[in-house]
Chains A and B, each alone.
Chain A
């Protein structure tokens, strides 16, 4: 079998997974997309292990590690998603914006020393 097939398949899987992670709103779908990403990587590891004729089977060993970690990660991720859903009645990632930085407009004169600020305050008072 030509070496390009598994690699192309891996690239396709990775692209689909990346799309899923970046674009899907549902937390479950994002978790699944992460699984796709991990599997794309494992496929590549196995393929390169075969192509380079690795006599120690490092690619396959790493694949086993990744499968283990992926299982744990999925469990953890699902728990988080469950908690999220319980608290907010929604698993939509697009709505989870609590960590956003509030954007306000800072005027340049805020940084001028108190004397100048006092003057401007006086001017405001005079204008009133």
Chain B
């Protein structure tokens, strides 16, 4: 089983290498980008089925020692890892299959497909890592891949700056993260995940709060949480399938996955849990408000990702590990679906802007149907998966006791408000894209512009889990048994995922209330954007993400630029002056000395003789003195 997992995480990397090697042949690229991912999806499914419930299974190969530490390559399979791997490989497969026709004709398709495969391999490495060092390697490869993929259209300046921004912001979190990992490994006397979790369980870490805080910084960067969230909406400059991959399964999920993996470390630090809850509350509410004001379809989805990830972090902050993981899986399915469907729509319409869309429900029936499923799941409408994921987290927040009580209150209040806001922006997106009049065409169902089959099949395949993953709750605590306890151990007290009680009622009220307001606003004028009327003067503020980028510009970018200018000035005018001065001096001295080079041999000999005389005189004088 561990070997299968290892193969599953290495196959996409192999696929990436082969894809790169034969980049000119389109069929070769299409085959080698999808087939290895498909095989590794099957392997991940096999691993998950074979693993069963609870417990962990680890097999490692030592590849060398670094001081007192062993570095080990290998796989550690827990219920959490197995399920996440299925999600990652499944979404990656859908994205690769989708890309064969979506980006198949583009000139840089080969490098794009290879990078997606590498990205998948890196994420599977993180998921199956048995050693924190190996985990860090996968983590950083993901950062690099996301940089290249966001900057796929490097002809566009906004894509270039978005990729640099994503890289810098995630690195800002990764530096403390690296220190956190080192501190964790040193204090646990081993970098093996098993040993680290054991050390945390035995409470033998010296400074768990510091370690948890440092790790949290990396998680905030990768999972795009406040204050490192603003790279994600900008990352929409990349191709749409990339957004689906980054937002649903890989990059941003890695942060939440890490917290779930090292959960015992975080549980030891109640202060960090409260900080996590506050950050999650700020992020979920703020991002949902921003999503409500965006006019770009992809940016709406991007902000909704930020908001949903905050839900997961909130769930983790209140002790609901299984619930957060459940939401992670569910969200991965429906968010990948939403992005791919949005990609189909954007391709056919030719614009990202919501104002350029409308009335597409007759023209693109399959995209309409699948995206409706995705949006219903996102909004949290009962039979769909998103409802159960959201209710599980809110229920965990409601039931939180002891050290989790304070974070529980924060997450609960903001989570309920966000549930309403999520429904509002989902409804606005749905109405804006598929209903109302199409801006350029007089008749709504004039012509069907459906996408090719290769793009629609992934949509349908993703719509199934997005709609039906809610069935998991029928088994009550079954899911929690598979995921295992806080340390991934089997047979822990399992959490029930079945929604019910006060939180469900209130959140449904919020959903209906906020959604109803948006619907009424839309009813009044079907052409206008409901956000214009509802948000009023706040709209520009929210559309620019609370001017957060301007704040960063003011606080960081401009001082850095000024410092760089100062350094450049000092370099050219102070340090270079010394260098130039020595050059000028040597040259000037040379000009004086070359006047002695008259070409007359006798003159040279005279000088030689004079030199000998002077030397002799000096020698005689020194000889007499001493």
Measured CB to CB, the residues of A under 8 A from B are: 18, 21-23, 30, 93-94, 96-101, 103, 105-106, 108, 110-113
Contact = CB atoms under 8 A, between A and B. Distances in A.
Contact of B584 (A30, A94, A99, A108): A108
Given A94-B600, A99-B599, A101-B597, A22 B584 contact: no
A21 B607 CA distance: 13
Given A97-B598, A97-B599, A22 B606 contact: yes
A111 B587 contact: yes
B605 interface: yes
B588 A108 contact: yes
A105 B591 contact: yes
B580 A93 contact: no
B599 A100 contact: yes
Contact of A93 (B583, B591, B595, B601): B601
Contact of A111 (B584, B594, B600, B605): B584
A103 B597 CA distance: 9
A111 B583 contact: yes
B624 interface: no
B609 interface: yes
Nearest to B586: A111
Interface string B567-598: 00000000010001001100110010011011
Q: Which among A30, A93, A106 has the greatest number of chain B C-beta atoms within 10 A?
A: A106
Contacts, number: 48
A106 B602 contact: no
A108 B602 CA distance: 33
Contacts of A101: 594, 597, 599
A96 B605 CA distance: 15
B595 A23 contact: no
B585 to A, nearest CB: 10
A84 B588 CA distance: 36
Contacts of A105: 591
A113 B599 CA distance: 33
29 contacts: A21-B605, A22-B602, A22-B605, A22-B606, A22-B609, A23-B602, A94-B600, A94-B602, A96-B599, A96-B600, A96-B601, A97-B599, A97-B600, A99-B599, A100-B597, A100-B599, A100-B600, A101-B594, A101-B597, A103-B591, A103-B594, A105-B591, A106-B587, A108-B584, A108-B588, A111-B583, A112-B580, A113-B576, A113-B580
A98 B594 contact: no
A23 to B, nearest CB: 7
Nearest to B576: A113
Interface of B: 576, 580, 583-584, 587-588, 591, 594-595, 597-602, 605-606, 609
B21 to A, nearest CB: 43
Nearest to A24: B602
Nearest to B596: A101
A21 B602 contact: yes
B580 A111 contact: yes
A21 to B, nearest CB: 6
Nearest to B597: A101
B570 to A, nearest CB: 16
Closest 6 CB pairs of A and B: A100-B599, A101-B597, A97-B599, A101-B594, A99-B599, A111-B583
Most chain B CB within 10 A, of A30, A93, A98, A108, is at A108
A103 B602 CA distance: 19
Given A23-B602, A97-B600, A101-B594, 7 more contacts: A93-B600, A97-B599, A99-B597, A106-B588, A108-B588, A110-B587, A113-B580
A105 B592 CA distance: 10
Q: Pick the most buried of B587, B597, B599, B605: most chain A CB atoms within 10 A of its CB.
A: B599
B357 to A, nearest CB: 51
A110 B576 CA distance: 15
A100 B598 contact: yes
Contacts of B595: 103
Contacts of A99: 597, 599
Contacts of B602: 21-23, 30, 93-94
Contacts of A110: 587
A38 B609 CA distance: 16
Contacts of A21: 602, 605
A111 B591 CA distance: 14
Contacts of A22: 602, 605-606, 609
A110 B583 CA distance: 10
Nearest to A18: B609
A96 B599 CA distance: 7
A117 to B, nearest CB: 12
B587 to A, nearest CB: 6
Contacts of A103: 591, 594-595
Contacts of A100: 597-600
Contacts of B599: 96-101
A22 B605 CA distance: 7
A21 B587 CA distance: 33
Nearest to A105: B591
Q: Which of A99, A103, A105, A111 has the most CB of B within 10 A?
A: A111
Contacts of B597: 99-101
A88 to B, nearest CB: 14
Nearest to B610: A22
Contacts of A108: 584, 587-588
B81 to A, nearest CB: 57
Contacts of B609: 18, 22
A97 B597 CA distance: 10
B577 to A, nearest CB: 10
Contacts of B576: 113
A13 to B, nearest CB: 16
B580 A106 contact: no
Nearest to A102: B594
Nearest to B590: A106
A30 B606 CA distance: 13
A95 to B, nearest CB: 9
A22 to B, nearest CB: 5
A110 B584 CA distance: 9
